[in-house]
Amino acid sequence: MLIAIAIGGRGVILKGYFYYIITGADITWATEIPAEIYARLYTPWRRVRFEVDLLDRVFRRYGARRIVEYGCGIGRHGYLLNKKGYSVLLTDVRDWRYGGSRRLPFKIYDVLRGGFIDLFDAGYAMGLIIIFKYRDIVRVLKNIGENLRDDGVFIFDYNFGIYEEPERVIVRIDGKIYSAVLRRNQYQQVDGGLLYEYRVEVIDDKGNVVGVEDTSYPIYDRDTISRAIEEAGFVVDRIIALKWDPNEYRYRYAKRGEGDSNVYIIRKRR
């Protein structure tokens, strides 16, 4: 679900590009794509608005006003939540905020290394937890718990599905055409789940490759994610079932028994 390129744990910040890397015991995950192309392909406003409306309803239910986002990326979720009146701190391992999100408070923060930031009413991470292997999911959730009030909640999504991804997605930006072309898309069985491996090349209208996604991440089942939540010291307060649309690159609410993804609302165990 995310643009990524494995580069051995090294890289630089490039003007006009974002560069994002997470390095754990078993994973090096990074991306290098022009920010405006990434935004159009992978965080379109229709996707972000749906997820922000969902988050807004959760925050209202729990009376949360002071929020922290982990793995904020270009920052569109936090930008819209801020416009709704929430106090939002964006965090990520690199600062590649784009557009209006540059005006929001930001802190460099590595969810694998952890560390205390402050106490918040709620935290959230969309499209982040899925990139980690089991041990790192537990580690990340424990680190996030350090920044939640005792009655605070953390919200994250997890996708359990296997899809037929579109072979080509085309976007137009400032009169130029960019294509995200799927070169490889395969799954293999691993302990506790599946390993999803894929390669996507982003090509401009002159045939130049301007970005590459060539990486993998694990996909666990619901029981495994529930076990990770419990091991990290949380309890599940609520689950919202969703269905992922790989062609529209967005979630939709799922009918009973038809969901392939969950949004988890979890609390620290008392």
3-state secondary structure of 22: strand
Distance CA 35, CA 38 (A): 5
CA distances from 259 to 38, 131, 173, 251, 252 (A): 26, 20, 33, 10, 9
Q: Is the dihedral of CA 184, 95, 43, 259 positive or negative?
A: positive
Q: At 135, phi and psi to the nearest 5?
A: -60, -35
Quick one: which of 21, 40, 43 has its CA closest to 32?
21
The DSSP code sequence of 131-161 is: GS-HHHHHHHHHHHHTTEEEEEEEEEEEE--
3-state secondary structure of 171: strand
- Which of the four pLDDT bands, split at 50, 70 and 90, describes residue 200? confident
pLDDT digits (tens, 9 = 90+) for 5-48: 332 222 222 233 344 444 444 444 445 667 778 788 888 999 99
Q: What is the number of structural domains in the chain?
A: 1
Quick one: which of 185, 179, 123 has its CA closest to 149?
123
pLDDT digits (tens, 9 = 90+) for 72-121: 989 999 999 999 999 999 999 989 888 899 999 999 999 999 999 999 99
pLDDT digits (tens, 9 = 90+) for 212-248: 878 888 999 999 999 999 999 999 999 999 999 988 8
Q: What is the mean pLDDT of the chain?
A: 86
Per-residue pLDDT at 212: 81
- Per the structure, the complete domain to which residue 173 belongs is given by 1-270
Distance CA 83, CA 60 (A): 15
Q: Is residue 4 predicted with pLDDT exceeding 70?
A: no
Give the number of residues written for the chain. 270
Instruction: Give the CATH number of the domain where residue 228 resides.
Output: 3.40.50.150
